[in-house]
Amino acid sequence: MSDAALPRAHGEAVLSANMRTTPEDFVVEELPGFEPSGAGEHLLLTVEKRGMNTGFAAKYIAQWAGVDEVAIGYAGLKDRHAVTRQRFSVHLPKKVAPDLSTLDFAQGEERLTVVEHTWHAKKLPRGALAGNRFVLTLRGVSGERAAIEQRLRSIAERGVPNYFGEQRFGRDGDNVANARAMFAGRRVRREQRTLLMSAARSELFNRVLAQRVQRGSWDTPLDGEVWMLDGSRSVFGPEPFDDALAQRLASFDIHPTGPLWGRGELRSTGDAARLETEALSGEEALALRAGLEAEGLKQERRALRLKPAELTWSWREDDVLEVAFALPPGAYATVVLAELGDVRAVGRAG
């Protein structure tokens, strides 16, 4: 499901706009998940890049350092059509770094600049970040300003459905179809299997969440709910909903969850389990479920709601709106914008 096809929690669209008109309109800063040790065999680089995806940057840094790509670590993938700041680690056992001034890169619209560097004891693993800070510029904004600002206030107060964004489903949205073909026997490269399994899982989760949005229960409890602690993957329940849980839900300390499909029984029970089973009962969903189970994935859970932190906005001109906020790892800025309305990407992500 593309972002545009998913039901909105806050009502009908209040704007239409363009994003990614230039890379500078989509600025992402990785929020570090730890402090560097200052010593060790891994050179920790913070770089700013423009018009360059993470994979290309990792390959370029490996060539600069004279090491295999396996020696390069990074916490998360960042889009190409953007200005992004993120960390990379380079394993250099002799603790001798090449001249850092020779790492800066500029060719056409592509750019990479070293912002900070230090040493660290370990390779930077995937997911080793506290989240991402976004500064997004929307151009050609059409809509009533009062309605747009009220929608932004509602998003700040209530959050948004924690959908997987369209990036998970491939540039042309065909990762789910390719996953079905893989599960049916088509051979794919090893590195592509993980991507396609993730797309299949994301599709199933989005279907459950879309059902709960349509029924108005994406941020309220159902009987048999499984809860996730904010800022972690720890889950608990089901258990009777009481005043203590209600207070924790209202304060965003806990969130309702939906299934990331795999082997085993649903942890949810009662009304929550019935809705999840109903949402995933179609022929296509059953094929994706069977494929994920055959691959050996186990049942997991994901929070159904997402609360952008420090959400602010300002108008540069009558039709240019800048929106800034921070999100936890695994969350998508595009699903926040989708709650505003039809936001079209002029530049392509990659």
CA 187 – CA 118 distance, rounded (Å): 43
Three-state SS at 104: coil
Tokens describing residue 220: 């309220």
Same CATH topology for 8-24+131-158+307-345 and 161-306: the answer is no
- The DSSP string of 300-346 is EEEESEE--EEEEEEEEETTEEEEEEEE-TT--HHHHHHTTEEEEES
CA 57 – CA 50 distance, rounded (Å): 10
Active site residue 172: no
Catalytic residue, candidates 79, 243, 253, 319: 79
- The one-digit pLDDT tens for each residue of the chain (350 residues) are 545 589 999 999 999 999 999 999 999 999 998 899 999 999 999 999 999 999 999 999 999 999 999 999 999 888 889 999 999 999 998 877 788 989 999 988 899 999 999 999 999 999 889 999 999 999 999 999 999 999 999 999 999 999 999 888 987 779 999 999 999 999 999 889 999 999 999 999 999 999 999 999 999 999 999 999 999 999 999 999 999 999 999 999 999 999 999 999 999 999 999 999 999 999 999 999 999 999 999 999 999 999 999 999 999 989 999 999 999 999 999 999 999 999 998 865 44
Choices 3.30.1360.200, 3.30.2400.10, 3.30.930.10, 3.30.2340.10: CATH for 161-306:
3.30.2340.10
Give bridge partners of residue 313 from the DSSP assignment.
323
CATH class, domain 34-127, is alpha beta
- Indicate the burial class of 122 (C-beta count within 10 angstroms; 0-12, 13-18, 19 or more): middle
Say if residue 238 is preceded by a cis peptide, omega within 30 of 0: yes
DSSP state of 298: B
pTM of the model as a whole: 0.92
Distances (CA, A) of 120 to 20, 116, 192, 193: 34, 13, 31, 32
Tokens describing residue 350: 């990659």
Tokens describing residue 244: 């203590």
Helix (H) or strand (E) holding 321: strand 320-327
Question: What is the topology classification, in CATH, of domain 8-24+131-158+307-345?
Answer: Pseudouridine synthase (3.30.2350)
Where along the chain do its domains lie? 8-24+131-158+307-345, 34-127, 161-306
Helix, strand, coil abundance in the chain, percent, nearest 5: 30, 30, 40
